[in-house]
Amino acid sequence: MKDEGMESKLRSEAKALLEQGKVDYIIGFEDGSLKFTTTPLMTSDKDDTSRLVINPFIVNNLSVFLTEVMGRVGIVAKGCDSRSIVSLVQDNKVAREDVVILGVPCLGIIDLGKVEELVGKGRDEIEDIIRDGDRVVIMASGNKREFPTREVLFDNCLSCELPTPQEYDILLGEPTSLADDRERAASQKKIDSLRDMTPEQRWEFWTSEFDRCIRCYACRNVCPACFCQQCFVEETEPQWLSPLPRWQDNLMFQVVRIIHVAGRCTDCGECERACPVNIPLRSLTRGMYDIVDVLFHYRAGMDKEAPPLLATYEATDAEDFIR
Amino acid sequence: MTSKKKINKKDIAKLLSEWSQEFTVFVPWRDEGVAKWAKWDGKDASFLDWYRNTIVPPKAIFLPPVEGMFSFQKGKEGYHIELPPSDRRKELIFGIRPCDAKALAILDMIFSDTYEDPYYLARRKNGVLVGLGCVNPYDSCFCTSLGSSPTDSTNVDLMLTDVGDELLVEVITDKGKELMTKTSLAQAATQADEARARGEREVAYNKVTRQLDTKDIEKKLLANFDNKDYWEKIAAKCISCGICTFLCPTCYCFDINDELIKNQGERFKSWDSCAFPLYTKMPMENPRAEKWRRLRQKVCHKYEFYPINFDVIACTGCGRCIRLCPVNWDITQTLDSLPTKEKVKLEK
Amino acid sequence: MQKIRVGVFICHCGSNIASVVNVPQVVEYSKGLPNVVYAQENLYTCSADGLRSIKDKIEEYNLNRVVVASCTPRTHEPLFRDTCEEAGLNKYLFEFVNIREQCSWVHMNIKEQATKKAKDLVKMGVVKASFLEPQEEVKVPVEPASLVIGGGIAGMTAALNLANQGFDVHLVEKEGALGGLVRRLYRLFPTNEDAEELIRPIIERVRNHKEIEIHMPAIVKDVSGYIGSFDVTVEEGNSERRFKVGTIVVATGAQELKPYHGYYGYGAMFNVLTQLELEERLRRGINHVENVVMITCVGARIPERSYCSVFCCVTAIKNAILLKENTPTAKIYVLYRELMAYGAEFENYYRKAMEVGVRFIRCGLERPPQIIGNGKAAGVKVYDELFGEEVKLPSDMVVLTTPLVPYLENEQISRMLKVPLSEDKFFLEAHVKLRPVEFSTEGIYVCGSARWPADIAECISQAYAASSKAAIPMRKGFATVEPITSFVNESICVGCGNCALVCPFNAIEVQSQNGKRVAKVTAVKCKGCGGCVAACPSGAMQQKGFTDQQVMGMIDALVGRGIFNAQLRT
Amino acid sequence: MLNYEPKFLVFCCNWCSYAGADLAGVSRLQMPPNFLVIRVMCSSRVRPEWIIKALMSGLDGVVVLGCHPGDCHYQTGNYYARRRMAITKKFLEYMGIESQRVQVSWVSASEGGKFAEVVTKVTKEMKEIGPNRLFTDERRGHGVKTT
């Protein structure tokens, strides 16, 4: 189930980086405490590098930790994560020279929610998940079932524009290819259905989704683009939003958050994955991502020299919305 | 013959209908795939097929995420305060898991300690808990390490155990006894039923594989309280979100806010979390500005302060914090890795 | 914290406001607003009486915030601020509410709704005032040197006035000679004195003045900075000169409109010329001309150029008289649409023209004069509106009276100095009546035809006005920067530097401080656009006088929430 | 909804649009009274949060007015405003908020007529779409569905 080649390369490279004093920390993944999970590993101890793993369950965007650690860091980054790092460099939150990017050419991350739904079993009731190219075999209650891999990958992986990091120092494997059109279409299903709705229906949809929100802020806290020390939602003079978890405030919190991360959001999908109450946040973030792309031909985290989206302009920027 | 009763699973909808005459019945419900507690819709009892436990714990019924405390209005003679109507409906929680029932018992201690919280206690007083033993605990569950079990009936009024097509009914409290008088659907259980129930209990108990050694845990924590290195290390991957606290069945922290519109206002209580830096923010400084201090607070609150002050660990092993954590931070791992006395380094 | 005590003054503005808005009602309403301890109405708040009432009430009621609801802050804010200051109140504790331009004047027929709106506006103003903080103005030293752009009559007059007061003057002229348009004129109305006689001594004085440095031919390539210290780059031939000045006078003038080919025969018929071309011919000496037709408002007061260039009629009158003097037998017709000969002097001049035999024929835009001829204008057909018949006039010469039009360079200068142009592309001063030769941007002034077509007398008086205004800060030695600058809450600044990127004035720098990157604002450089505030993702940047709290307070007030908050604040 | 009387904010930059609004007044151009002007120094000062707060608070819409491109008193402010407003407006539309509720226009100091025209048209449009969905009275005391 593991990618042995990449994993052993990662372990030796990470160890060497620490040994040679090139980095103070390694941020990577180790096996999690539950089946089919991984957990972030942050260490300065070279012996810990033997615990580093690479597998289809390395969900987290580890760049969120870059703004916390001091010193130089070696970080494991999938394509989307590497874009977040670039975006942080653009915003001066990370100095490129302080980061050694251990790039993971990514084949997509498995969405356990989709797996659970496909086999009708909980994650912990599943015996094994084996990915073999574009097929995936799932063993549950002694039954073996096979599905196309695309059916178990996260939506954002299906439309990934950069599976292999463009910005890296060490690439841990052979570059992987882009998602095909069919996969891309599948990833847009939720968004397309939203676009087909009338404004009233869309509004209804979102208000009911955000009625569930408990304001745990996991979406914000897993997001590398949310790098503020104090979030606007915590401001009291003026108080932008009520801290009470009610749909208007919940929804508007997310709307403002997404406006704030416009041009920084790399569609890594972490907000949606972290949400404990299944709010389809990626349908919102991707909506903004597409707006930014269409209006300004700008995709976050692609060019570390570029100024942040809203700190620059073109005289020829779109004017069609101006009356 | 035994004094115990049983109810056929097919009759559950009928049973709930009967109880609905007097109670507002809450059952596990799936809202866009999110299991939570909701008012029973009057027909659907299919939760028996899928329900393992809810994501949002039943504490949300007694301690809602948002609750109006009172409204107030400024008049010429100062403020006029109006309390919400006190006649609360009676609520029946059908299918509460032993871990969550135990959590409510723990919350009772807090809300009836030096300050008696009228909002919470009124609901608890009128509420009835019908427990349902687990047959399929999660790999993240560890209730057995905390003196409980997947079929523990201690903290409910009525306990149900799955024995195949039927649910075995045990009356635990007077409230439960009274509840059974309101239905004629129950039949007498047989010795075989009881034997089967015992067997199911044992099977369920053994399915809980996660273990935590809680012996002297409060002392170990106390010894490590100032061990900054340790806390920093275990907090490194924490993202300071509110999932583990909001969705913890024993976390009860709340915030109070006034909402003002025109000359009227309303005071609200809403869930708060010690994971947020804002929680302890004061005008000049924040004693828990760093996340390791906040995480330490969370762990110590449950495993140190509670045992010392209330003689019980404020964790029931429901495993939600482990299952739902976006970075798989695992409290059992944390506690297992507590340094022993000799290794403790003190915070400077 | 001191309790907030707001005083509200609602202006009738004679009947301008009071005829629409029920002022007494608004006053009563204001009294019920939070923090308001006093409210009154004034017939004219800006009158001596009105201003005195503000001062008196500040003292009597111990007011610490003042709200005036009247006209527009763009004109009267400085006046009321100064009044507050005279009464010992920090002048930035004053808030202006516009209930005239944006209320009574635009809702004249819906009085009830206008009154309701005025109440809303006053409420917003009161809440904003409650959130205002006292501010200190930043003083900046002013370089005792001035840049005068344009070496025509206006520019030279301004330069001389400043130089005579001892200030260094950099005079930039784009052409190879000083004198501008006047240099090309023959004689001047209404005295008929020689233009040369007027301009030559002025040029001489400018050239010989030791305080004036002439850059010629040269253009101003770049200006940066702010009042007191503008950094100027002048391109003179192949070299660039850089210097610092405290103030700038724009005196770039304007040019005579050259009609396009064929317009009234111009360019297609050799004997059709403009007034300026005629002047040049007159200066060289002109032979006997028997039949002359002059047409006024050629290319002016038409849909695409609707303004009146003011003095061209008198120019036509003057040249008609000169031609008549040159050829007493000449038949001279002036075809006019309306005749602009204002004031007793010009009126007499007009009468004199009629006395010497110049004939005036009124025509209209619907049936404009037609030039007859091929290669040469042989005659002009015109519909005489007074007689109601078409007449045909013979012509040896047709003179087109065209308006002054702005130079194309105005656009570039406007962008460079960040000063506005009018719709007609002339420079637009801060206010036609109240701040006529100043721009809204501090330290930059305008005079002459750059501002609007002006005759020589006007150019000179405007030049004195503009240069006198420019002399004020230079004589004082300092200017004050309005404290609407941005400032940083360093504790929540994340050092991303987005603010610095959007600042057009390089006023923000991200610096390392105790191992943390934070933005620092140089207040003197900040012009208070507030762009950095909106660009700041974390809310660390704020703008004095336009804080989020103030703006949100206004919104809350409108929907009835902030009222309470403002109360709690006291 | 034509008898509905909306209330909306107009953020005007000090140098162009506020002056344009003043000019509309000086020219006695008559317009509906449903708008309230808030003066800012530059359109680039307008934060998307203001717009959202206004809509949440129960106002029916927000109009942001600035100088024409190239005419900004601060050279480039309106270019930044244009980007910021573009994403804000488009995203709110994507959420299901009517596009008429957030409007952006350029009004110069000499365009009193355009100011009147924009305000009049926006008023008409907001009457047509009726009250703002984002604000409802259920907001007060409304809990989550669990309870």
How far is C34 from chain B, CA to nearest CA, in Å?
11
Over residues D135-144, the mean pLDDT reads 44
Q: Give the model's pLDDT for residue A185.
A: 82
Q: Give the model's pLDDT for residue D20.
A: 95
Question: What would the pLDDT profile of B251-302 be if each residue is shown by its tens digit?
Answer: 999 999 888 776 778 899 999 999 999 999 888 889 999 999 999 999 999 9
Helices within A181-246 (DSSP H only): 181-187, 189-196, 199-210, 218-221
Residue C515's pLDDT band (cuts 50, 70, 90)? confident
**C36-42/C6-11 β-pairing:** parallel
Beta carbons of B4 and B191 less than 8 angstroms apart: no
Q: Return the H-helix or E-strand segment holding D120.
A: helix D112-129
* Interface confidence (ipTM) of the complex: 0.91
Percent of chain C with pLDDT over 70: 98
Per-residue tokens: C15: 């009947």
The sign of the torsion formed by the CA atoms of C137, C139, C144, C148 equals negative
Chains within contact range of chain A (3+ C-beta pairs < 8 Å)? B, C, D
Question: What would the pLDDT profile of A184-221 be if each residue is shown by its tens digit?
Answer: 788 888 888 988 999 889 988 999 999 999 999 999 99
Residue C344: other Cβ atoms inside 10 A: 7
Mean pLDDT across chain D:
88
- pLDDT for residue B347 is more than 50: no
Beta carbons of C357 and C324 less than 8 angstroms apart: yes
Beta carbons of D59 and D8 less than 8 angstroms apart: yes
How far is C504 from chain A, CA to nearest CA, in Å?
11
Over residues A266-283, the mean pLDDT reads 96
- pLDDT for residue B201 is more than 90: yes
Q: Return the H-helix or E-strand segment holding C565.
A: helix C562-569
Q: Give the model's pLDDT for residue D136.
A: 58
- Better pLDDT: D72 or B108: B108
DSSP per position, C488-515: E-TTT-----HHHHH-TT--EEEEEETT
Residue C430's pLDDT band (cuts 50, 70, 90)? confident
Per-residue tokens: A172: 């841990």
Phi, psi of D4 (to 5 degrees): -75, 135
Cα separations in angstroms, C271 against A316, C331, C333, C397: 47, 16, 15, 5
Q: Is C534 close to D46, i.e. CB distance below 8 A? A: yes
Q: Give the model's pLDDT for residue D114.
A: 97
Phi, psi of C510 (to 5 degrees): -95, 125
CA distance D87 to C54: 45
CA distance C41 to C33: 16
Q: Kindly state whether B33 is in contact with chain A, defined as any CB-CB distance less than 8 angstroms.
A: yes
- pLDDT for residue C501 is more than 90: yes
Chains within contact range of chain C (3+ C-beta pairs < 8 Å)? A, B, D
How far is B75 from chain A, CA to nearest CA, in Å?
25
- pLDDT for residue B78 is more than 90: no
Cα separations in angstroms, C143 against B73, C225, C234, C472, C523: 60, 12, 18, 12, 18
Please name the amino acid found at residue A38. T
Over residues C28-35, the mean pLDDT reads 93
Question: Which residue is associated with the tokens 């001489």?
Answer: C204
CATH topology of domain A112-152: Nuclear Transport Factor 2; Chain: A, (3.10.450)
CA distance D119 to B292: 54
Residues of A in Cβ contact (< 8 Å) with B322 = 33-34
Beta carbons of B294 and B275 less than 8 angstroms apart: yes
- pLDDT for residue B1 is more than 70: no
Question: What would the pLDDT profile of C451-494 be if each residue is shown by its tens digit?
Answer: 999 999 999 999 999 999 999 999 999 998 889 999 999 999 99
CA distance B175 to B184: 17
Question: What would the pLDDT profile of C149-205 be if each residue is shown by its tens digit?
Answer: 999 999 999 999 999 999 999 999 999 999 999 999 999 998 889 999 999 999 999
**B187-188/C508-513 β-pairing:** unpaired
Residues of B in Cβ contact (< 8 Å) with A243 = 255, 257, 270
The sign of the torsion formed by the CA atoms of D24, D28, D34, D37 equals positive
Least confident of C342-346, C462-466, C541-545: C342-346
Over residues C502-507, the mean pLDDT reads 86
Residues present in chain B in total: 348
Beta carbons of C214 and C207 less than 8 angstroms apart: yes
Cα separations in angstroms, A177 against A58, A188, A219: 19, 19, 29
CA distance B127 to B92: 6
Residue C560's pLDDT band (cuts 50, 70, 90)? confident
CA distance A96 to C127: 47
Q: Give the model's pLDDT for residue B343.
A: 53
Domain residue spans in chain B? 5-207, 217-336
DSSP per position, B105-129: HHHHHHHBSSSB-HHHHHHHHH-EE
Mean pLDDT across chain C:
93
- pLDDT for residue B227 is more than 80: yes
Cα separations in angstroms, A254 against A188, A198, D92: 20, 21, 11
How far is A227 from chain D, CA to nearest CA, in Å?
18
Q: Give the model's pLDDT for residue B87.
A: 62
Question: Which residue is associated with the tokens 């959001």?
Answer: A265
CA distance C470 to A173: 70
Over residues B88-108, the mean pLDDT reads 94
Q: Is B261 close to C560, i.e. CB distance below 8 A? A: yes
**Cis? peptide before C504, omega within 30° of 0:** no
Beta carbons of A281 and B326 less than 8 angstroms apart: no
D58: closest chain B residue by CA: B261
Phi, psi of B42 (to 5 degrees): 95, -10
Look at residues C326, C334, C331 and name the one whose alpha carbon lies nearest to residue C290.
C331
Over residues B109-113, the mean pLDDT reads 93
Look at residues B216, B240, B213, B215 and name the one whose alpha carbon lies nearest to residue B297.
B240
Over residues C107-129, the mean pLDDT reads 96
Mean pLDDT across chain A:
93
Over residues C389-405, the mean pLDDT reads 96
Per-residue tokens: B61: 């019924």
Q: Return the H-helix or E-strand segment holding C207.
A: helix C195-208
Q: Return the H-helix or E-strand segment holding C218.
A: strand C218-226
Q: Give the model's pLDDT for residue C1.
A: 63
Residue D140's pLDDT band (cuts 50, 70, 90)? very low
Helices within A48-187 (DSSP H only): 79-90, 112-119, 155-158, 181-187
Q: Kindly state whether A63 is in contact with chain B, defined as any CB-CB distance less than 8 angstroms.
A: no
Residues of B in Cβ contact (< 8 Å) with A71 = none
Q: Is A65 close to B332, i.e. CB distance below 8 A? A: no
Q: Is A216 close to B246, i.e. CB distance below 8 A? A: yes
CA distance A53 to A7: 6
Question: What would the pLDDT profile of A78-123 be if each residue is shown by its tens digit?
Answer: 999 999 999 999 999 999 999 999 999 999 999 999 999 999 999 9
Domain residue spans in chain A? 4-111+153-311, 112-152
Residues of C in Cβ contact (< 8 Å) with B74 = 564
Residue B342's pLDDT band (cuts 50, 70, 90)? low
Over residues A30-46, the mean pLDDT reads 96
Q: Give the model's pLDDT for residue A323.
A: 85
Look at residues C34, C42, C31 and name the one whose alpha carbon lies nearest to residue C9.
C42
CA distance C22 to C43: 13
How far is B234 from chain A, CA to nearest CA, in Å?
10
Q: Give the model's pLDDT for residue D3.
A: 81
Residues of D in Cβ contact (< 8 Å) with A232 = 49
Q: Give the model's pLDDT for residue C569.
A: 43
Per-residue tokens: D84: 């910021």
- pLDDT for residue D22 is more than 60: yes
Per-residue tokens: A320: 């069609």
Question: What would the pLDDT profile of C268-319 be if each residue is shown by its tens digit?
Answer: 999 999 999 999 999 888 888 999 999 999 999 999 899 999 999 999 999 9
Residues whose CB is less than 8 angstroms from the CB of residue B249 and which lie 6 or more positions away in sequence, other chains included? B57, B58, B59, B99, B100, B103, B104, B316, B318, B320
CA distance C513 to C530: 24
Cα separations in angstroms, D117 against B160, D7, D34, D86: 71, 17, 13, 21
Q: Is C497 close to A91, i.e. CB distance below 8 A? A: yes
Question: Which residue is associated with the tokens 């372990």?
Answer: A11
Question: Residue B222: helix, strand or coil by DSSP?
Answer: helix
Residue B341's pLDDT band (cuts 50, 70, 90)? low
pTM exceeding the 0.80 threshold for the entire prediction: yes
CA angle, residues C190, C194, C198, in degrees to nearest 5: 95
CA angle, residues C536, C537, C541, in degrees to nearest 5: 35
Over residues A124-149, the mean pLDDT reads 93
Q: Give the model's pLDDT for residue A2.
A: 57
Phi, psi of C103 (to 5 degrees): -140, -80
Closest Cβ–Cβ partner in D53, D105, D135 for A323: D105
CA distance A61 to A228: 17
Mean pLDDT across chain B:
92
Beta carbons of C26 and C559 less than 8 angstroms apart: no
Q: Is A181 left (phi over 0), alpha (psi -120 to 50) or beta?
A: alpha
Residues whose CB is less than 8 angstroms from the CB of residue A59 and which lie 6 or more positions away in sequence, other chains included? A38, A109, A270, A273
